[in-house]
Amino acid sequence: MIPATLARVMIASDDAFELTTMSASLRLHGINVVGEASNKVIAENTFRSLQPEVLIIDLMFASADAVGIITTLRKTNPSLGIVLMTACPDLRLLGVSEKNLPKGVQIVLKRSVADLSVLSFAILQSLDSSSMNSSARPLAIISGGSRGLGFATARGLAADGFDLALIAKDSERLTSAAQSIRAASDGTQINISTFTCDLEQPHLVREHIDSINQSLPTPQLLILAHGVMSEKMSKTLRTNDAEWRRVMAINLDSVFQLVNGIAPAMADARNGRVIIFSACLGRMSGPGNAGGLAPYRISKAGVNAFVRNLAHETGLGARGLLVDAVCPNHSQTDMGGPDAPRTAEEGAACALWLATREFNAGDTTGVLWEDNQIVEW
């Protein structure tokens, strides 16, 4: 546990006098106050830029929205210690139930704050409680997680110590996949959430993103393994609007929606990896790019461009978010068929490596990977 005097502390209060005097007093007693916030916007920006380990916040901060703020910030950083100050000895009088507060929140009465030993002890207790939160298994969200490459990836990540959130269209297959993963865990407790969603329907995708963000902590991994093949005769001049829209909605539009809806919190936490299953058929170079299967090829080319663009927008790993595409090659899935040269586990191996590899300054992200090697777009 971090000593109270070494912890990076941020204070949020609407009361300018309280904010100034508390910050000065804590600093005089050796507490490392790194930031102060007098409104919600400043609080969010300061938290994002300074990454404090402890937040001291007035319950009535931001028009009594402190509970919503600390809930959001704890999801961004599960190890955040939180000290909640209040003038009211019974939170129920303010319409606040302690069971609705994030775990480990330390509540301090304002009349006790003058005794800095009380506040210092609360900081220590919040750090102790937050260390228990941070010991939880990291979360991986996986689309297409009920079968094929997504299921093989989910099973591998469960073995590597991740909790899972699986997204797929078929609820029965999702339930079966979750049961299978738990059965293979040798008694290890794995939290598995399932979300049944037709990724062809944009409004349903957004609804499920809201549900995921509200019910789960910020994930460390977002792996998109869903996809459909276009019809065999779907050349550019023979493809109809319905087939084009079906493939694009599932293979490209939903990729944008899921990343756009889930990854911002990962970027704010400066600790996340987005891995998207693409295809060698979407490359602009190399073998097999001569045409045919137009909606599929073009959707995967769009995925490749999407990955490259997002990776550059987020600093190519310098800000803690890694973004990569994977070419799994022809694998034994419902799409690939039973005679494909690779098993689903072999097809998922590169994604698992990307999900767990050590990443250091100067390492590469924002590219297309095949068998743990970079290939040209």
In which element (H, E) is residue 275 found?
strand 272-277
In which element (H, E) is residue 8 found?
strand 8-12
Strand pairing class (106-109; 139-143): unpaired
Dihedral sign of CA atoms 165, 171, 173, 179 in order = positive
Query: What's the confidence (pLDDT) of residue 151?
Result: 98
CA distance 209 to 205: 6
Angle at 307 between CA 306 and CA 310, to 5 degrees: 80
Query: What's the confidence (pLDDT) of residue 1?
Result: 45
Q: Which residues of the chain form CATH 3.40.50.720?
A: 139-375
Contacts of 22 (CB under 8 A, 6+ apart): 11, 13, 56, 113
Query: What's the confidence (pLDDT) of residue 61?
Result: 93
Q: What backbone phi and psi angles, to 5 degrees, belong to 222?
A: -125, 110
Residue type, 316: L
The dotted CATH code for 139-375 is 3.40.50.720
Neighbours of 214 (CB within 10 A): 9
Residues 272, 320 contacting (CB under 8 angstroms): yes
CATH of 8-134 among 3.40.50.300, 1.10.3470.10, 2.70.98.90, 3.40.50.2300: 3.40.50.2300
3-state helix, strand, coil in the chain (%, to 5): 45, 20, 35
Per-residue pLDDT of the chain (377 residues; tens, 9 = 90+): 455 557 889 999 999 999 999 999 999 888 999 999 999 999 999 998 888 999 999 999 988 789 999 988 887 788 889 999 998 887 878 788 777 788 889 999 888 877 788 888 888 888 876 655 555 689 999 999 999 999 999 999 999 999 999 999 999 999 999 999 999 987 788 889 999 999 999 999 999 999 999 888 899 999 999 999 988 768 899 899 999 999 999 999 999 999 999 999 999 888 899 999 999 889 887 766 777 889 999 999 999 999 999 999 999 998 899 999 999 999 999 889 999 999 999 999 999 999 999 998 889 999 999 999 999 98
Q: What's the DSSP call for residue 215? A: H
CA distance 37 to 107: 19
CA distance 67 to 279: 44
Residues 51, 8 contacting (CB under 8 angstroms): yes
| Statement: the pTM of the whole predicted model exceeds 0.95 | no
Best CA proximity match to 277, nearest among 317, 318, 325, 229: 325
Q: Which residues of the chain form CATH 3.40.50.2300?
A: 8-134
Residue type, 254: S
